[in-house]
């Protein structure tokens, strides 16, 4: 929970910024420790996006996941929960199953790259937790996502 002040600063900077990636590169990385979860969330990237009704990993997702793997390998003690989400264009049950597929696709990737199985749990939220609220592709493309949440593990 250190660097909360800085985190808020980063979040404020990111608010309203359409393209986080371009912004991230310009951040002064010296001010945030690479070992912080905030670093993982904002600078490694905790979120990968999916194509409509698909759970296959796109090239942009794979490059983010590779960076995630590198970071996660340095933090062996941290558990991980992968949340799968869908946009609002499907029915509730189907979207739960689709979110599970997406979370599983990320899980499989992390496992294949050597992240320990017992660190990872997955959960689907279907269309229950939209990040963006407009009803067009601009928001839907951001809502079709899998988020790697570090420091959280679901106990069965």
Partner 1 sequence: MVRNSILKFLKIFSFTSILFINFSFVAAQKNDAPQLDMTVNRGVIKPISLAVPSFIKESGANSIISRELAKVISNNLDSTGLFKSIPQSAYVSMPLSFNTPVQFSDWSIINADVLVMGSVGLKPDGRLEVKFRLWDVSQQKEIGKGKQYFTNSESWRRISHKISDTIYTRVTGEGAYFDSRVVFVSETGPKDNRTKRLAIMDQDGANFRLLKHPPSLVIAPRFSPTTNKIIFTGYETGKPRVYLMDLSSEEITSLSELKGMSFAPRFSADGSEIVLSMTENGNTDIFINTLSTGVKRRLTTNNAIDTAPSFSPDGKSIVFESDRGGGQQLYIISTQGGDAKRISFGKGRYATPVWSPRGDLIAFTKIKEGKFHIGVMRVDGTKERLLTTSFLDEGPAWAPNGRVLMFFRETPGKAGAPSIYSIDISGRNLRKIKTSSFASDPNWSPILN
**Binding residues vs partner 1 (CB under 8 A):** 55, 81, 88-94, 96-98, 100-101, 103-105, 107-108, 121-125, 128-135, 154-156
Query: What is the closest distance, in whole angstroms, from the C-beta atom of residue 97 to partner 1 in the complex?
Result: 4
Query: What is the closest distance, in whole angstroms, from the C-beta atom of residue 34 to partner 1 in the complex?
Result: 28
Q: What separation in angstroms does the CA of 17 have from each of 10, 22, 30, 35, 127?
A: 11, 9, 21, 24, 24
Cβ-proximal residues to 99 (8 Å cutoff; 6+ apart), any chain: 83, 84, 85, 86, 124, 125, 126
Closest to partner 1 by CB, 3 vs 89, is: 89
- Residue 120 CB neighbour total at 10 angstroms: 20
Closest to partner 1 by CB, 27 vs 96, is: 96
Closest to partner 1 by CB, 27 vs 113, is: 113
Structure tokens at 145: 């996502």
Q: Where are the alpha helices (DSSP H) in 27-133?
A: 37-39, 59-73, 92-112
Closest to partner 1 by CB, 69 vs 90, is: 90
């Amino acid at each position: 929970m250190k660097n909360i002040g800085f985190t808020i600063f980063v979040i404020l900077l990111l608010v309203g910024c359409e393209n986080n990636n371009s912004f991230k590169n310009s951040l002064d990385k010296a001010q945030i420790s690479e070992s912080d979860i905030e670093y993982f969330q904002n600078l490694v990237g905790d979120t990968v996006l999916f194509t409509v009704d698909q759970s296959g990993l796109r090239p942009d997702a794979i490059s983010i996941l590779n960076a995630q793997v590198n970071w996660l390998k340095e933090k062996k003690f941290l558990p991980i929960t992968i949340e799968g989400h869908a946009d609002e264009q499907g029915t509730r049950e189907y979207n739960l199953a689709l979110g599970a597929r997406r979370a599983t696709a990320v899980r499989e990737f992390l496992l294949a790259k050597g992240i320990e199985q017992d660190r990872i749990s997955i959960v689907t939220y279907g269309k229950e937790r939209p990040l963006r609220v407009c009803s067009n592709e601009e928001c839907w493309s951001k809502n079709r996502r899998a988020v790697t949440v570090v420091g959280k593990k679901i106990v069965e």
